[in-house]
Amino acid sequence: MFRSRAPLGLLICCALLTLDATAASKKPSASLKKQIETILAQPDLARGFIGIQITSLKTGKSVFSLNAEKMFTPASNTKLFTTAAALALIGPEYKFRTTVETNGSLDKYGRLTGDLTLVGRGDPNLSGRELPYTMRTQRDPDPVRVLEKLADELVQKGVKYVDGDIVADDSYFAFERYGEGWSQDDLVWPDGAPVSALTINDNVIFVQILPGARAGDRAFVSVTPFADYYTIDNRLLTTPAGTGRKIFINREPGSTTLTLWGTVPMDDSGVNEGLSIEDPAEFAANLFRHLLEVRGVVVYGKQRTRHTDLASLSTFTSVVIASSRGGDEHSLTSPVGPLVLAEYQSPPLSEDVEVINKVSQNLHAEILLRLLGREKGTGGTVQAGLEVLHGFLNNAGIPSDDYVFYDGSGLSRQNLVTPRAVVNLLLYCTTQPWGKEFHDSMPVAGIDGSLADRFKDLDPQAHVYAKTGSLGGVKTLSGYAVTAKGEELAFSILANNYSVPGKRVNDVIDSIVVAAVNSAK
């Protein structure tokens, strides 16, 4: 896996962009220093580690610093780096394109000779998610509406018969579904959903569980969307009211069988649990065939997938680079190119960046990392994306020995970063044309996203816009704060190896931010 160890390149000359030795060594106000020391002196916090950097946006000087040069696991604060690079290099207005194509032909009788191919190019929102984001993630009741629109468009074009196969093509990115350092426990849940250039409903299915009619009956289990993808082994039993719920779900890696067991009391209101799918392209192929058939289209072939094998990608690097400049890979196989029968274009990239940072969407961040590699590097791989990210941070004046990244979302426990690097990134972003989109993608304290229920006692004239991060033993928060008097701060607080409850660590982090905001009054 790529490790960033290249020498520092071009330094940004703007004084706001770096924490020079003089500024970093300045002592914080005695009041703030004493407050933070008091917060951290509590006995239950003694065995953990914390890094803090708080900097004035106006002067670029350090307001408070503790272990700012040390490496910490950033968790989802990693997303700040990925989304900033995407806004800078791909652009806020970039739109993803999904097409249905054929290398065959369609005659006047509606007969399509050849295969019908659904081509994904990384759109993360082929789902029921409503965009733009407003206060919280809202979903249309129909999670496969985009595929339905594509199927409807094919019918409107006169397609009645498909002589070939239904092919789901996610070869725009390499078949590299998971990141290095991800826990196996994460892979069955939405947080660890597999990455694909053809992503339907966040590559997740929803399992609803309700009690049966009588004690002793099997519980009722339903799956959406497309229940036929998984085989359900339902061993859940209904128990008398008041007995308590105990539900267990298992899916072995590589399997499409869901095993459910345990008990559901008769007075239970039910459970709706998200589970990741195994192969997104395979899921899309099966689902798209189903959508065509319910519209009366007869498919004579089978459904299959088209992946780009990671091991063979280096052999075809020149082809991939050429295709990223001149269309998609299929255009290289024919001087005329495929016949596009249906097409969908996504909302602007900036709207998905807001989803990523507001609700900490792992899959979408991983898609952006691979998109960076595909559009600006040597291919749609993690390695290529990390190389592009390294180049971006180098140009932003962030030393390469201040970070090591293995993925784009922060799910990897092998990621490391200094609080100093996070704050330098935040300062850099304020000077860029896309800085407003980056700033506005942050959760707002006490209002939305992952900060909706935090900072409830913040001064009404003060504001906090920051990205959360969470793994077992890891809590992080980095972003911008505005004091009641309008002074702007950039801050990063990275807490690692705490064995106390996560809420306790969050409260400590929030107390430090509030102290910084109040000290600047």
The larger pLDDT score, comparing residue 28 to residue 298, is at 298
In the listed set 225, 257, 276, which residue is the last one of a domain according to the structure? 276
> Mean per-residue pLDDT for 432-450?
97
In the listed set 345, 368, 403, which residue is the last one of a domain according to the structure? 345
Same domain, 381 and 462: yes
Same domain, 387 and 495: yes
Within a domain: residue 190?
no
Same domain, 353 and 471: yes
User: What CATH code is carried by the domain that includes residue 442?
Assistant: 3.40.710.10
Strands 474-482 and 488-496: antiparallel
Within a domain: residue 191?
no
**CB of 131 closer than 8 Å to CB of 347:** yes
Same domain, 371 and 419: yes
Q: How far is the C-alpha of 468 from the C-alpha of 480, rounded, in Å?
A: 12
Domain that holds residue 212: 202-276
Q: How far is the C-alpha of 513 from the C-alpha of 515, rounded, in Å?
A: 5
Within a domain: residue 188?
no
In this structure, what token pair is assigned to residue 167? Answer: 């092919």
Same domain, 167 and 105: yes
Within a domain: residue 6?
no
User: What CATH code is carried by the domain that includes residue 139?
Assistant: 3.50.80.20
In the listed set 319, 345, 371, which residue is the last one of a domain according to the structure? 345
pLDDT score, position 139: 78
pLDDT tens column, 71-119 = 999 999 999 999 999 999 999 999 999 999 999 999 999 999 999 999 9
**CB of 179 closer than 8 Å to CB of 382:** yes
pTM of the predicted model, to two decimals?
A: 0.88
Element (H, E) at 287: helix 280-293
Strands 257-265 and 474-482: unpaired
> Mean per-residue pLDDT for 331-338?
53
Within a domain: residue 440?
yes
Angle at which helices 78-89 and 349-359 cross, to 10°: 170
Within a domain: residue 295?
yes
> Mean per-residue pLDDT for 489-505?
96
Same domain, 473 and 357: yes
Question: How many residues are there in the chain?
Answer: 521
Same domain, 375 and 506: yes
> pLDDT confidence of 313, banded at 50, 70, 90?
low
Rounded to the nearest integer, the mean pLDDT of the chain is 89
pLDDT score, position 136: 77
Within a domain: residue 105?
yes
pLDDT score, position 246: 95
> pLDDT confidence of 29, banded at 50, 70, 90?
low
- What stretches of 344-418 show up as alpha helix (H) in DSSP? 349-359, 362-376, 382-395
Same domain, 166 and 224: no
**CB of 201 closer than 8 Å to CB of 144:** yes
Same domain, 272 and 285: no
Block residue for tokens 């039910």 = 270
CA-based end-to-end distance of the chain: 46
Q: How far is the C-alpha of 511 from the C-alpha of 455, rounded, in Å?
A: 9
Residue 274 has pLDDT above 60, yes or no: yes
Please give the tally of structural domains in the chain: 3
Closest alpha carbon to 116 in 332, 284, 309: 284
Within a domain: residue 11?
no
Closest alpha carbon to 234 in 253, 217, 252, 215: 217
pLDDT tens column, 131-175 = 888 887 787 788 999 999 999 999 999 999 999 999 999 999 999
Same domain, 57 and 141: no
Same domain, 249 and 285: no
Same domain, 376 and 486: yes
